[in-house]
A = this chain, B = another copy of it.
């Protein structure tokens, strides 16, 4: 760090098993990717090319290569997986992963209705090819999944071979884990954590108040996702108790 401060919590280092940050790239240019990894590379553990933006992204190979060169793996958003599945093109999807040399993939059912056993089959199959992140939660604000279902789905998806499970929030932070207003479904999160180990979960938390909430509940090294590139540095300060929102978190034993 640039200078010494006492009572700064210990952040995990790359490659991180916990405390990692998933950033969402929804259309950066190649030079913007260079800028991003230059300023934030140490703090970003994995990049998602949001939903199916990869379909219309120019220089996709070069973009993935830039991230790889910076030690940051890339995966394609779950909506793209679903777009292939709904069209009966699962094999084509696997071909895309190969073509672009991807080592991670997301399996989700945020926009499609997928029998859960079938979803777990996809996870198992893909887990032989890549590291799988699976996502629980609908993108439809009207579809409320009760907590016991979240838990059941998360557990069976982990059992099927998912490396970690993602709690849905979208780019807007207003579905799945969150209410329309962006407020956390606190009871849901707490109930999930009674059964699923926190380090197996990535919480999508695009809005600052959501990030703060999770860091206050689960500490510096909580796994957070769907972070905008411009919010990576701010998030890192929130994790460290160096922004107003978490300023008091790590001051035990200190008095002014």
Contact = CB atoms under 8 A, between A and B. Distances in A.
Nearest to A112: B256
Contact of A7 (B32, B35, B87, B236): B87
Contact of A243 (B52, B54, B58, B60): B52
A10 interface: no
A111 interface: yes
Contacts of A242: 51-52, 55-56, 79-80, 83
Contacts of A208: 172
Contact of A79 (B36, B84, B170, B243): B243
Contact of A233 (B26, B59, B113): B26
Nearest to A40: B27
A84 B35 contact: no
A79 B246 CA distance: 11
A251 interface: yes
Contacts of A114: 256
Contacts of A240: 52, 55-56
Nearest to A175: B244
Given A55-B240, A57-B233, A86 B27 contact: no
Which of A5, A84, A170 has the most chain B CB atoms closer than 10 A to its own CB?
Answer: A5
Interface in A195-232: 208, 230, 232
A65 to B, nearest CB: 14
A69 interface: no
Contact of A54 (B2, B251, B256): B2
B53 A233 contact: yes
A189 interface: no
A234 B53 contact: yes
Given A79-B243, A256-B86, A230 B51 contact: no
A183 to B, nearest CB: 14
A92 interface: yes
Given A2-B60, A52-B240, A172-B208, 13 more contacts: A5-B55, A5-B92, A6-B87, A26-B234, A30-B38, A31-B31, A51-B242, A56-B233, A56-B237, A56-B242, A79-B244, A83-B242, A86-B251
20 contacts: A1-B55, A3-B95, A4-B92, A5-B55, A5-B92, A26-B233, A26-B234, A27-B233, A31-B34, A51-B244, A52-B240, A53-B234, A56-B233, A56-B236, A79-B243, A80-B242, A82-B247, A86-B247, A111-B247, A114-B256
